[in-house]
Amino acid sequence: MQTNALGGDLSNAIEIRLDDISQLFETKDPFPFRERDLATDADAYISGHASERPGDLPLELVVHLPSEAANVEGVRSLDKSVSNFFTHRAAAVARELGELFRAGRRSLAVGLAVLAACLLAGQVLSALTPRGGVAHFIEEGFIIVGWVALWRPLEIFLYDWWPLAQKRRLYQRLSEARVTVRFYDQANRL
């Protein structure tokens, strides 16, 4: 197990070294640090590394900054800023997941209606025409179309929601991550 200088566990630590705290935030965002979005590259870096860490251990984000940044306002509230950002991201993914399930329920209702109509049409066709040949071909075609109508709802409820649920869990973990700021001396930087 790797440990840091203070004896803490680094196995779930994500380290990022910056020259300035502003590198971490989106520069076009007009809000103060605590409410600002993380820069796209910083978000991708942190999220990517967090997804590779074991899910059963809490995450830690270690931000290395030059010692001159110690008195910058954004540094003091960095933990709150990171937590707020990932809390908002988790909520956005939760809304996206809810929309996916709503679309799944609607497409399931449509798919079941199409399946019922196709089965009924197949039964009517079977009753009205002699068995065999083209009538049997059309009846089987109706059955296939009915089952294909359920393809998308089944895809949503069996597969499509998993990546969103994993992303939501990742963002929730990141919102709870401990944020540690460490300062380095610019003169001794390698």
Asked whether residue 5 is domain-assigned, the answer is: no
> Does residue 83 share a domain with residue 17?
yes
| pTM given for the model | 0.78
Look up the domain containing 68 and give its range: 13-87+174-188
pLDDT tens sequence across 76-105: 888 998 999 999 999 999 999 999 999 999
| Structure token digits, residue 92 | 């956005």
Asked whether residue 22 is domain-assigned, the answer is: yes
The CA distance from 129 to 70, in Å, is 86
Asked whether residue 125 is domain-assigned, the answer is: yes
pLDDT tens sequence across 10-60: 568 999 998 888 888 887 755 555 566 888 899 999 999 999 998 888 999
The CA distance from 85 to 155, in Å, is 31
Is the pLDDT assigned to residue 7 strictly greater than 50?
no
> Does residue 181 share a domain with residue 164?
no
Q: CA nearest 52: which of 82, 16, 14?
A: 14
Mean pLDDT score, 59-63? 94
* Domains of the chain: total: 2
Neighbours of 174 (CB within 10 A): 24
Q: In the chain, what is the straight-line distance between the N-terminal and C-terminal CA atoms, in Å?
A: 25
Q: CA nearest 177: which of 93, 80, 91?
A: 80
Asked whether residue 3 is domain-assigned, the answer is: no
Most confident of 14-28, 54-68, 129-143: 54-68
